[in-house]
């Protein structure tokens, strides 16, 4: 039986562990924390991420936890439409899922061939000709035919295998929250949509149906705000007050949602990215190898909502290639398949970052003047990338 060590219990690590186990692999999943705790926020899954889950046979319960995200268009803070809402075909629409629901679904998909070990901090990786790849925590060595580094943007494995890839600040911070239905404001229209301002962005989406959700449900309204600048060191109460001041006067439902948010709902995150990207995503070692997956391979800002989707793409691609090729050929094939794909998405994300980070009076005027032409074109290109990807097949 082939064996794999997966480092990292995030969505990508859980997905690839379940996919490999279903293909007959014996998997050891290593997680640094004492237990896996997903953020109490939500994630948008575009059609490419959904197809990847289906390819791994992990989308069986997705309909029960996902809410279709209708095209709400894009506005400026003055209410001017940059992109009018459109009648987008259902198959091209993304869905929004509570991270805790997604986590539960991925955990359920692990099966009996996955051994989950928590409290393990990987510190070293071994990639030596003639020996199977391995990772270690200073006390124990975990050896397998394949090592999957899904250990996030701060990946220890990537730093050792691809030191040229530097993790840097993207120059902005993000705040997320889910307002449960019992506390959410009553709004006359759908809250789905996006508002782009000079250095600021606000996105909101409904999680489920208000009428079918109770006080203990994970349903509600999810929102995310990004702002240029460093993360705020103040307590959540002060951060929330700042957000209400920064976004005061923006079109509905921004004021209403921020007013209904409690400090305990707030999750702040520094936005970081890899520059440059790693020179390789696959590293042969003896009869097997090591691969980088998810944020360990291509950490990027969340402006196009593709981080989790790309991690699922990585996992689905790796699972298919491992069924069709022998190691270490599959490791090299994975590298060839994923680097061009992620480079395209990262390039688009960086273009959006540059638009959102505009600072200074002249830069902001130019940015506002360009938003009307740049944003629709860029978002349309991003949507095409999201809808066009298909899992590799035997004929690929």
Instruction: Tell me how far apart the 2 most distant CA atoms of the chain are, in Å.
Output: 65
Q: What is the pLDDT of residue 75?
A: 87
Q: In what order do the strands lie in the sheet with 124-126?
A: 124-126, 134-136, 141-143
336: CB partners within 8 A, 6+ apart: none
Q: What is the pLDDT of residue 215?
A: 39
Q: What are phi and psi of 72, to 5 degrees?
A: -95, 0
The answer to whether the Cα torsion of 322, 31, 310, 106 is positive or negative is positive
Q: In this structure, are residues 170 and 186 in contact, taking their beta carbons and an 8 Å threshold?
A: no
- 253-311 pLDDT per residue, tens: 999 999 999 999 999 999 999 999 999 999 999 999 999 999 999 999 988 889 999 99
pLDDT in tens, the chain (396 residues): 899 999 999 999 999 999 999 999 999 999 999 999 899 999 999 999 999 999 999 998 898 999 988 888 888 888 888 778 887 777 778 999 999 999 999 999 998 999 999 999 999 999 999 999 999 999 999 999 999 999 999 999 999 999 999 999 998 999 999 999 999 998 766 677 888 877 889 999 999 877 654 434 588 999 999 998 899 999 999 999 999 999 999 999 999 999 999 999 999 999 999 999 999 999 999 999 999 999 999 999 988 889 999 999 999 999 999 999 999 999 999 999 999 999 999 988 887 776 666 555 555 555 555 555 555 666 666 677 767 899 887 554
Which pTM value belongs to this model?
A: 0.93
Q: What is the pLDDT of residue 216?
A: 41
What burial letters (b/e) apply to 200-235, b meaning 16+ CB within 10 Å? bbbbbbbbbebeebeeeebbbbbbbbbbbeebeeee
**CA 275, CA 170: separation in Å to the nearest integer?**
10
Q: Using alpha carbons only, what angle is made at residue 45 by residues 169 and 267, rounded to the nearest 5 degrees?
A: 45
- 237-255 pLDDT per residue, tens: 999 999 999 999 999 999 9
What are the boundaries of each domain within the chain?
Answer: 3-70+97-169+273-358
Q: What is the pLDDT of residue 92?
A: 79
CATH number of 3-70+97-169+273-358: 3.50.50.60
End-to-end CA separation in angstroms for the chain: 26
384: CB partners within 8 A, 6+ apart: none
Tell me: cis bond preceding 8? Omega within 30 of 0 counts. Answer: no
Strand partners, 228: 172
Closest CA to 299 of 263, 342, 240: 342
Closest CA to 185 of 133, 226, 134, 221: 221
**CA 198, CA 371: separation in Å to the nearest integer?**
10
The answer to whether the Cα torsion of 135, 137, 141, 144 is positive or negative is negative
Q: What is the pLDDT of residue 312?
A: 98
């Amino acid at each position: 039986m082939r064996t794999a060590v997966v480092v990292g219990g995030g969505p990508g690590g859980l997905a690839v562990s379940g996919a490999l186990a279903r293909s007959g692999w014996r998997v050891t999943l290593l997680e640094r924390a004492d237990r896996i705790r997903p953020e109490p926020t939500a994630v948008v899954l575009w059609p490419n991420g959904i197809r990847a889950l289906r390819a791994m046979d992990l989308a069986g319960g997705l309909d029960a936890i996902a809410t279709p995200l209708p095209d709400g268009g894009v506005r400026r803070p003055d209410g001017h439409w940059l992109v009018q809402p459109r009648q987008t075909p259902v198959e091209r629409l993304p869905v929004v899922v509570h991270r805790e629901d997604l986590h539960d679904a991925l955990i359920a998909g692990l099966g009996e061939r996955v051994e989950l070990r928590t409290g393990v901090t990987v510190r070293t990786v071994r990639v030596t000709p003639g020996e199977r790849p391995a990772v270690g925590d200073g006390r124990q060595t975990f050896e397998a035919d394949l090592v999957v580094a899904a250990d996030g943007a701060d990946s220890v494995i990537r730093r050792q295998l691809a030191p040229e890839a530097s993790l840097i600040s993207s120059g902005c911070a993000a705040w997320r929250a889910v307002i449960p239905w019992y506390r959410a404001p009553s709004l006359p229209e759908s809250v789905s949509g996006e508002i782009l301002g000079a250095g600021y962005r606000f996105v909101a989406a409904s999680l489920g149906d208000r009428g079918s959700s109770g006080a203990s449900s994970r349903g509600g309204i999810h929102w995310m705000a990004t702002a240029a600048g460093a993360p705020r060191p103040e307590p959540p109460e002060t951060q929330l007050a700042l957000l209400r001041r920064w976004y005061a006067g923006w079109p509905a439902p921004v004021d209403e949602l921020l007013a209904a948010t409690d400090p305990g709902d707030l999750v702040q995150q520094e936005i970081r990215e890899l520059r440059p990207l790693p020179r390789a995503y696959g590293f042969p070692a003896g009869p097997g190898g090591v691969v980088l997956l998810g944020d360990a391979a291509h950490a990027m800002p969340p402006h196009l909502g593709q981080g989790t989707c790309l991690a699922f793409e990585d996992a689905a691609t790796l699972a298919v290639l491992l069924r069709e090729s022998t190691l270490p050929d599959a490791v090299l094939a994975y590298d060839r398949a994923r680097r061009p794909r992620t480079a395209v998405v990262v390039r688009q994300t960086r273009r959006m970052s540059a638009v959102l980070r505009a600072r200074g009076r002249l830069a902001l005027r130019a940015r506002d003047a360009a938003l009307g032409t740049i944003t629709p074109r860029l978002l349309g290109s991003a949507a095409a990338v999201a809808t066009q990807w298909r899992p590799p097949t035997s004929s690929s």
